Structure 1
Amino acid sequence: MRYRLVLGDITRLKVDAIVNAANRTLLGGGGVDGAIHRAAGPELRETCRRLGGCETGDAKMTPGFALPAAHVIHTVGPVWKGGGRDEEGLLASCYRNCLRLALENGLRSVAFPSISTGAYGFPVEKACRIALNEVAAFVDVHADAFDEIVFCCFSASDRDVYRVLMQELGLAFDQA
């Protein structure tokens, strides 16, 4: 199993699943969510409409349609309200539930954006630490389940935070 750190557009990654940092309707929005819906095509919205939304911290899966990724795992991250509303626990749950869905469906490679750090305002370093700890803990338990976990950052500053924390946590990774 390898970790990869990428600066770029998650909609261009050829992996078994990309994770969509979605809103509760799953019908598209801004940021990563809007980009994924535009790249996947109108079938994604129609499929998401039938899912009936998603609760914060949970995850649901759809086909990738026109994306290079075969699947999209949609998760709803928490809006940062200062840390007193279980935002950290809800964000951790996003990562666990995405990986659980990937495992249950035999997916070997998953790419994550930086969930909740855009419009939802979660502090990047705090969110990154949660992401890395949750993914590493899940992978430790399910060591043979995945070939690759990708952390795809839209900004160089986010990528730099991931790089520093991955090194600090002793996670070996490839960088692209």
Structure 2
Amino acid sequence: MRSFFHGYRIILLKGEITEIEADAIVNAANPYLSHGGGVAWAIVRRGGEIIQRESEEYVRKYGPVPVGGVAVTSAGSLKAKYVIHAVGPRYGIEGREKLELAIRKSLEMAEKLGLRSIAFPAISTGIYGMPYDVCAETMSDVFLKFKPRSINEVMVVLFGEEAYQVFEKVFEKILPLGV
């Protein structure tokens, strides 16, 4: 675990996002919120089918979530109150600005809900092919610009050692170390 500080605490963790205690966890979602693989599948598997049902209801009511957009569901039996489903870009197809938008909109949604803590995975680095360093740099940039009202803790939860090492290196370079 590494801790950074920029008016709020930014914690870098290695582990499983579905085991994190936070007011909200972010899901790396697709536009149709069909949670069949990766982080999305792990969230539904651990949190329960209610997450998938609420996701399907959202898409039926509002349509697909645009790239860079977010949707919110309950968190089922997870240790969170909400799941914020962020649709990241496909590497080489949609630009980095869409990843920045998905991260920023996730933070804004957490603020709108009055939450104090939020946990992110490495959005778009799975099947969407985003390199870890690009994701880490983008997150760092968004975190530096973010001015929280209610959030006091942001966690970035990485599943594997390679992802953790890349994020740690990038965060150490860009973000102020915590106390």
TM-score, normalised to structure 2, is 0.89
Q: Which residue in 2 is equivalent to 1:100?
A: 108
| Structure 1 consecutive aligned stretches of length 4 or more whose deviation exceeds 6 Å | none
Shift of 1:114: 0.2
Q: Which residue in 2 is equivalent to 1:164?
A: 169
> 2:19 is matched by which residue type in structure 1?
R
Quick one: distance in 2 between partners of 1:87 and 1:45?
A: 28
Query: Does the 8 A contact of 2:132 with 2:167 survive in 1?
Result: no
Shift of 1:146: 1.4
Query: Which structure 2 residues correspond to residues 14-163 of structure 1 after superposition, within 5 A?
Result: 14-52=21-59, 53-81=64-92, 85-138=93-146, 141-142=147-148, 144-163=149-168
Unaligned runs of 5+ in 2: 1-7
Shift of 1:54: 1.2
Unaligned runs of 5+ in 1: none
Query: Does the 8 A contact of 1:110 with 1:149 survive in 2?
Result: yes
Shift of 1:173: 4.5
The number of residue pairs the alignment matches comes to 168
Quick one: distance in 2 between partners of 1:58 and 1:149?
A: 19
> 1:168 is matched by which residue type in structure 2?
K
Quick one: distance in 2 between partners of 1:32 and 1:86?
A: 20
Query: Does the 8 A contact of 1:2 with 1:172 survive in 2?
Result: no
Shift of 1:77: 0.7
Shift of 1:163: 0.9
TM-score, normalised to structure 1, is 0.91
Q: Which residue in 2 is equivalent to 1:6?
A: 13
After superposition, the CA RMSD in angstroms is 1.3
Quick one: distance in 2 between partners of 1:107 and 1:59?
A: 16
The percent of aligned pairs where both chains have the same amino acid is: 32
